[in-house]
Amino acid sequence: MLRYAATMFDQVVITAANAAQARGYRLQTRGRRGYVVFPDPGGKRVGSLGATVNALRRTGFKASRRRKVLIVHSGGDARRTPGYAAMGKAFVPMRDARPMLDHIVEAMARLPLPEAGGVVVVSGDVLPRFDYEAVDLSRRGVTGVAYPDGADEARRHGVYMVEGRAVRGKAMAVSGFLQKPQVEGGRHLIDTGVMFIDGETAERMKSLPVAGDIYDEFPKMLLAGYAPFSVNVAGDDCDFFHVGSTRELLQKLGDGDTYVDAVGCPLHLAGENVVTNVPPGRFDSLTLAKGECFTCIPYGDGKWLDLKYRIDDNFKTDGLWERHGLGAIMKRIDYLRLLAVRECSARKTRTAPRQTFRVAAPVRIDFAGGWSDTPPICNDEGGTVFNAAVTLEGRKPIEVVVAPRRDRLVRVVSRDLGKRRLIRSAEELADHADPHDWCALVKSALAVTGFEFGSRGLDITISADLPKGSGMGTSSMLGAAVIAAILGRTDADEIGELTLRLEKEMRTGGGWQDQFGGIVGGVKLLSSQPGKRQRISVERLDSSWLAGLLRERGLLYFTGQKRMARNILRKVLAFYAENPHDFAKTLVRSLKADAAAAAAAVRRRDAAAFAAAINGYWRDKKLLDPGSTNDRVEELAARIGRHASAVTLTGAGGGGFMFILAKSRAAASRIRAELTGDAPTSTARFYDFDISEDGLSLEATP
């Protein structure tokens, strides 16, 4: 028995055009209990009605046995999808890597078949999708399933006609059936291709001639009185999954640009490419121009047909089927070699992670100590930073999703930028030194995690829902989130170290506080000892008092000024290297003392001391590099100065977000009103924020 959902089939019959195709179908369904394959008899095509009659005869169908049988007609040549012509369209792998046949069987098993049994007939290259459970199959004779649609669809399909108004979920007597009628306007009952035949009628059909089309000749016989003929109207939300051409294969199962399945060599693809069933070792690599497609077909005694074709080649009407001798080759397919190619690909896919990983990450507010965490400063002096992981507008603003692909390419999508890129070669992946390339961060993350191009395919979607150049550690946290999603784990030491390597790969530089500020949640004092290998110690503080203070008096304001941290970084590191009169190193020690003082103030719940530590930090940053501020930032600070007890920029400086600690709740309201009513730029505004206690989070789904 084959059990699915709320019903079962005793037998699934797959029809084939000839004995050779039947051998292939049997190999592809081996091990599935209850599946049988019957070729058209006599070595010639007999049509779908003839194939149905042949199947009923071969199974010895009898109404008295109350059996439930599914007949899947799969005897076509699949000429318009040559990449799967050898396999058959019923075995085209869907997005979950299972063949379409599995989806068809499971869908049809949801039909409410009567206890008396009967036969469901469906096409093997179409998956109709409707409310299966709402269909009424209780009537005697033959019942089709239709759905209402317009004239355009009617002109391309079979159309049922009934007397009176069609009612959803109710079987009605059929008064007429037309194939592709040339109608104008109106709503029509479009045939889904699903047909149910009750047991008595199915047993009678065994005496019919083995010929004819079940969607053409058979409706005429039924309307002439052979058996009662009904149609059940499904809802108008019915649709079909059908891969009728190579381009549809690309659009419906690929990513719109490429479709790669069971390929054993590196690929260099220009776009609009479909590549299938290429055995390992046959080619060192394949390079295809835009619109070129490729498949390998094993046949005869160890032979291969290497078939290159164009995305819109038809093979059904343009003579290419005959030119390549595919009619004869299809009767000599070596299915054992074909399935070996696919099994080899499946084994490699199974060794790679098949889960989808979704990572969400907060950003951080640097209250004090920044710059002391940046190499080579931290290597010489050790670093000390006091910061907090925060959400913005009630959510973690950074999200990354890494999902497996069936092919071995890498697609990167940036939701906030509205950009996407398909990486087709190792050379393209290795080009990640340009910080202005929006894809460089992801390519660098792949590099530092040891990803080998061609080993597996990945879909990587990134999003950072806050302004660019925010000074909140966004790029570092986005890099950390991508690394965590690629690896499928969130160990803070590992992710933090790899993120530092990522920044070196991108040549942007930077310290360790940005990533640790978000990887580890809450309020914490981060520190390291001098040395080449930086090991970060994390002291998490009770954040309840500070969280309350920030809700009452804390403000986060985007100044509207964008800045690139690496420009300021270069100047700071140059000043540190010069170290006139030991002044730079003295400032670094003062930065670390500011961080320690801020942490001590939080432990004591001393708001005045906390504000003093922040102000000391802002002073020391400006002394280390005057570029940390500018006239517009100073004007903003001056405007709110009488209401603020502390002001600092959250990042390297020059713009981005400003953190403000107001003198009181009322002062916070006045600052908000002042800067909202007269914003310095069109993009300047306040953001609601809260401390994020859990830091970086990872969710895995199959």
Structure tokens at 639: 């405007």
Q: Is the model's pLDDT at 58 over the cut of 50?
A: yes
Whether the CB-CB separation of 190 and 159 falls below 8 Å is answered with yes
User: Residue 647 and residue 533: Cα distance in Å, rounded?
Assistant: 33
604: burial class by Cβ within 10 Å (0-12, 13-18, 19+)? Answer: exposed
- What Å distances lie between residue 134 and 122, 232, 549, 601, CA to CA? 18, 9, 58, 67
Q: Across residues 510-530, what is the average pLDDT?
A: 93
Q: Is the model's pLDDT at 350 over the cut of 80?
A: no
User: Residue 231 and residue 166: Cα distance in Å, rounded?
Assistant: 9
User: Residue 616 and residue 604: Cα distance in Å, rounded?
Assistant: 18
User: Residue 143 and residue 118: Cα distance in Å, rounded?
Assistant: 11
Q: Is the model's pLDDT at 256 over the cut of 90?
A: no
Least confidently predicted of 179-188, 433-442, 570-579: 433-442
Instruction: Give the DSSP per-residue string, 367-404.
Output: EE-TTTTSTTHHHHH--EEEEEEEEETTB-SEEEEEEE
pLDDT (0 to 100) of residue 205: 97
Which pLDDT band, with edges at 50, 70 and 90, does 347 fall under? Answer: low
Domain range 357-691, CATH architecture = 2-Layer Sandwich (3.30)
293 DSSP β-pair partners: 309
Which pLDDT band, with edges at 50, 70 and 90, does 1 fall under? Answer: very low
pLDDT (0 to 100) of residue 674: 93
Least confidently predicted of 142-146, 384-388, 509-513: 509-513
Query: Which ranges in 185-243 belong to alpha helices (H)?
Result: 199-205, 217-223
Whether the CB-CB separation of 352 and 456 falls below 8 Å is answered with yes
Which pLDDT band, with edges at 50, 70 and 90, does 619 fall under? Answer: very high
Q: Is the model's pLDDT at 4 over the cut of 50?
A: no
What does pLDDT average to over the chain? 90
pLDDT single digits (tens) 373-399: 999 999 999 999 999 999 999 999 999
Least confidently predicted of 164-173, 557-566, 624-633, 662-671: 557-566
Q: Is the model's pLDDT at 127 over the cut of 80?
A: yes
Q: Across residues 529-555, what is the average pLDDT?
A: 94
Least confidently predicted of 105-109, 272-276, 466-470, 601-605: 466-470
User: Residue 333 and residue 678: Cα distance in Å, rounded?
Assistant: 76
Tell me the percentage of the chain whose pLDDT exceeds 70. 96
pLDDT (0 to 100) of residue 430: 84
Q: Across residues 349-370, what is the average pLDDT?
A: 82
Which pLDDT band, with edges at 50, 70 and 90, does 328 fall under? Answer: very high
Which pLDDT band, with edges at 50, 70 and 90, does 564 fall under? Answer: low
- How many residues does this entry show for the chain? 702
Q: Across residues 554-568, what is the average pLDDT?
A: 79
Q: Between vectors from CA 35 to CA 34 and to CA 40, what angle results, nearest 5°?
A: 135
Of 35 and 435, the structure prediction assigns the larger pLDDT to 35
Tell me the chain's radius of gyration from C-alpha atoms: 34
Which pLDDT band, with edges at 50, 70 and 90, does 178 fall under? Answer: very high
Q: Across residues 265-275, what is the average pLDDT?
A: 90
Which pLDDT band, with edges at 50, 70 and 90, does 2 fall under? Answer: very low
Within 13 Å, how many C-alpha atoms sit on residue 380's CB side?
A: 15
Least confidently predicted of 156-165, 324-333, 351-360, 522-531: 351-360
Q: How do strand 685-686 and strand 554-558 relate by DSSP bridges?
A: antiparallel
Q: Across residues 537-559, what is the average pLDDT?
A: 96
This prediction has a pTM of 0.59
Q: Across residues 513-522, what is the average pLDDT?
A: 93
Structure tokens at 631: 């006239």
- 443-446 CB contacts, 8 Å cutoff, 24+ apart: 443/412, 444/479, 444/502, 444/505, 444/506, 445/479, 445/482, 445/483, 445/486, 445/498, 445/502, 446/410, 446/486
224: burial class by Cβ within 10 Å (0-12, 13-18, 19+)? Answer: exposed
Q: Is the model's pLDDT at 668 over the cut of 50?
A: yes
Instruction: Give the residue carrying structure tokens 């999808």.
Output: 81
pLDDT single digits (tens) 297-310: 999 999 999 999 99
Question: Of 365, 392, 689, 391, nearest to 555 (Cα)?
Answer: 689
Q: Across residues 325-332, what is the average pLDDT?
A: 95
Q: Is the model's pLDDT at 229 over the cut of 60?
A: yes
pLDDT (0 to 100) of residue 275: 95
pLDDT (0 to 100) of residue 5: 32
pLDDT (0 to 100) of residue 354: 64
Of 351 and 293, the structure prediction assigns the larger pLDDT to 293
Return the HEC string of 246-281: HHHHHHHHCCCCEEEEEECCCEEECCCEEEEEECCC
Q: Across residues 448-455, what is the average pLDDT?
A: 83
Query: Which ranges in 554-653 belong to alpha helices (H)?
Result: 565-578, 583-604, 607-624, 631-640
Which pLDDT band, with edges at 50, 70 and 90, does 500 fall under? Answer: confident
- 275-282 CB contacts, 8 Å cutoff, 24+ apart: 275/83, 275/407, 276/83, 276/84, 277/83, 277/86, 277/87, 277/338, 277/341, 277/342, 278/341, 279/304, 279/337, 279/340, 279/341, 279/344, 280/341, 280/344, 282/306
Q: Across residues 671-681, what is the average pLDDT?
A: 93
Structure tokens at 694: 């859990």
Whether the CB-CB separation of 114 and 137 falls below 8 Å is answered with yes
Whether the CB-CB separation of 86 and 232 falls below 8 Å is answered with no
Cβ atoms within 10 Å, residue 85: 22
- What Å distances lie between residue 583 and 158, 624, 630, CA to CA? 86, 9, 22
Of 128 and 119, the structure prediction assigns the larger pLDDT to 119
Q: Across residues 139-163, what is the average pLDDT?
A: 91
Of 425 and 71, the structure prediction assigns the larger pLDDT to 71
> In the chain, where are the structural domains located?
2-241, 246-351, 357-691
Structure tokens at 447: 């590099």
Which pLDDT band, with edges at 50, 70 and 90, does 7 fall under? Answer: very low
